[in-house]
A and B are shown apart, each in its own frame.
Chain A
């Protein structure tokens, strides 16, 4: 336990503020890929305007789970979900849910920065145009606001019409976050957003997420336990498809209930 304490540099100091209301309630969710039972009977609350981190070793089902929250798993042939993910009194998993509308409210950022091979401003304006925004002034205003929110405005304001692929990896990832913000979603899902980035860029993204949680609900999958400890209000530990433990980050890291949680966060496996 002593060694473990050393590992963890600092905690997100907002953990002790009062609990926010639940935005998405996960009840008995099971996910299968064909015969493979990837996520087993998961129950957990996702609190509004807080950061919830999903941690666990590779293959534990955390990415599968986060991709279910905005139905990105629909793309994978043979994937199937049971249970309920209640969001605004609707079960997200219901086949009748309009996934296009859902994804406007629950945005997602991926591990690999994936800007479109278009200009920086087009990257942000593309989803807006599709959503029906035509007014040039509004489009430019939203572009500026989103880029400012992710701290990219000063770096790119002189080259908005240049290809987004010319940006560095960290800048590309912040552009992808800005792009997700453009639609003013309620929830932002991030699937290991910093694992392809250098430490400086990662730190910038962490800082950004701490700011964004004042206005958005954030769910983040991370391989990096220190990252979870630094930014998350709540942490869920997944192992072999099961949710082993869920709780306030500080509690989970300093006083885990289960032995496997303690083993994982102290670096004994995973």
Chain B
């Protein structure tokens, strides 16, 4: 076989694989959106769920998903970014560093249901946080932390050594070089990574089943006092998120319009995650343009 033919075959196989992948994504997305988009209405998004009557919405679940996401990010970003900076800039190659790196990798590959069980034992039972927003957010922190550490470390490593040398040669300390030169330069890639991981956290269900719970108290959206039990901001109330809701209505829902709710919720979830991705891209591009001065 001539090398030209081999080249053609290899190219065709690669294109075929790429097409299969794109095909799966497109068909999955169009199926979910086709079945679900017609169920999305303003009323669906702004009505509370009804346990057994038809016509329930997903207002509380949608709010819970975003609320848990925000709390998770508040917990994860400072720890994860600091950890990533440590690994990229300060850690000297050696036993301790490789141990920490192994920990991060193992943590990243833990099945989310295991993280959920761990969360239940530690946060729900041991610390007595019950099924709550904070338990859910802490479990998701365990789940999300390694991703942020990784994204930060990679962002720093992708910077050329020239930047760091430039800072140090001007008589800046190591920390000041990191703070004023390296972190801003790595910021676009770190931010993109954070937003992409937000999509993953937003759609997570298994880790939340045993930590944030399967129910939501009657939320009063005019009560923003965070210690009041029916306030949307209360950290110690149970909080069923959107993806948990999809699982719950599909496995045990007794309302007559189960499929309508499940399809609609799935479409909302997918659209949100899609928006996260598009937003991450647009933002990355914008910041990049600003930095490169073009």
Knowing A116-B181, A164-B293, A165-B291 touch, does A107 contact B162 (C-beta < 8 A)?
no
Q: Tell whether, in the assembled complex, residue B92 and residue A77 are in contact, meaning their CB atoms are under 8 Å apart.
A: yes
Instruction: Give chain A residues whose Cβ lies under 8 Å from the Cβ of B180.
Output: 126, 130
Q: Tell whether, in the assembled complex, residue B93 and residue A77 are in contact, meaning their CB atoms are under 8 Å apart.
A: yes
Contact of B172 among A102, A130, A164, A167 (CB under 8 A): A130
Secondary structure type dominating chain B contacts: helix
Interface string of B92-114 (1 = CB under 8 A from A): 11000000000000000000000
Interface string of B69-95 (1 = CB under 8 A from A): 000000000000000000000001100
Name which of A17-25, A35-43, A175-183, A216-224 contacts chain B: A175-183
Q: Decide yes or no whether A174 CB sits under 8 A from chain B.
A: no
Contact of A131 among B92, B160, B163, B171 (CB under 8 A): B171
Closest partner residue, chain B, to A176 (CB atom): B166
Q: Tell whether, in the assembled complex, residue B170 and residue A166 are in contact, meaning their CB atoms are under 8 Å apart.
A: no
Contact of A118 among B168, B172, B176, B184 (CB under 8 A): B184
Q: Tell whether, in the assembled complex, residue A117 and residue B184 are in contact, meaning their CB atoms are under 8 Å apart.
A: yes
Q: Decide yes or no whether A104 CB sits under 8 A from chain B.
A: yes
Question: Nearest Cβ in chain B — how far from A208, in angstroms?
Answer: 18
Question: Nearest Cβ in chain A — how far from B238, in angstroms?
Answer: 45
Knowing A100-B171, A127-B172, A183-B171 touch, does A116 contact B292 (C-beta < 8 A)?
no
Q: Tell whether, in the assembled complex, residue B169 and residue A116 are in contact, meaning their CB atoms are under 8 Å apart.
A: no
Near B by CB (< 8 A), chain A positions 95-148 give 100-104, 107-110, 112, 114-118, 126-127, 130-131
Interface string of B162-199 (1 = CB under 8 A from A): 11111111111100100011001100000000000000
Expressed in whole angstroms, the Cα–Cα distance for A267 and B176 within the complex equals: 45
Closest partner residue, chain A, to B294 (CB atom): A166
Size category, A interface:
20 to 34
Q: Decide yes or no whether B8 CB sits under 8 A from chain A.
A: no
Q: Tell whether, in the assembled complex, residue A104 and residue B171 are in contact, meaning their CB atoms are under 8 Å apart.
A: yes
Expressed in whole angstroms, the Cα–Cα distance for A112 and B165 within the complex equals: 11
Q: Tell whether, in the assembled complex, residue A100 and residue B166 are in contact, meaning their CB atoms are under 8 Å apart.
A: no
Instruction: Give chain A residues whose Cβ lies under 8 Å from the Cβ of B293.
Output: 162-167
Q: Decide yes or no whether A70 CB sits under 8 A from chain B.
A: yes
Q: Decide yes or no whether A75 CB sits under 8 A from chain B.
A: yes
B contacts with A, residue count (CB < 8 A): 25
Q: Tell whether, in the assembled complex, residue B184 and residue A127 are in contact, meaning their CB atoms are under 8 Å apart.
A: no
Knowing A163-B293, A165-B291 touch, does A127 contact B165 (C-beta < 8 A)?
no
Q: Tell whether, in the assembled complex, residue B170 and residue A179 are in contact, meaning their CB atoms are under 8 Å apart.
A: yes
Q: Decide yes or no whether A90 CB sits under 8 A from chain B.
A: no
Q: Which of B160, B171, B291 has the most CB of A within 10 A?
A: B171
Question: Nearest Cβ in chain B — how far from A131, in angstroms?
Answer: 7
Expressed in whole angstroms, the Cα–Cα distance for A131 and B167 within the complex equals: 13
Q: Decide yes or no whether B4 CB sits under 8 A from chain A.
A: no
Q: Tell whether, in the assembled complex, residue A165 and residue B168 are in contact, meaning their CB atoms are under 8 Å apart.
A: no
Instruction: Give chain A residues whose Cβ lies under 8 Å from the Cβ of B163.
Output: 114, 116-117
Knowing A126-B180, A163-B292 touch, does A100 contact B92 (C-beta < 8 A)?
no
Interface string of B261-294 (1 = CB under 8 A from A): 0000000000000000000000000000011111
Expressed in whole angstroms, the Cα–Cα distance for A253 and B91 within the complex equals: 47
Q: Tell whether, in the assembled complex, residue B165 and residue A114 are in contact, meaning their CB atoms are under 8 Å apart.
A: yes
Expressed in whole angstroms, the Cα–Cα distance for A26 and B217 within the complex equals: 77
Question: Nearest Cβ in chain A — how far from B75, in angstroms?
Answer: 29
Expressed in whole angstroms, the Cα–Cα distance for A116 and B165 within the complex equals: 11
Question: Nearest Cβ in chain A — how far from B123, in angstroms?
Answer: 40
Query: Which residues of A approach B to under 8 Å, CB–CB?
Result: 70, 72, 75, 77, 100-104, 107-110, 112, 114-118, 126-127, 130-131, 162-167, 176, 179-180, 183
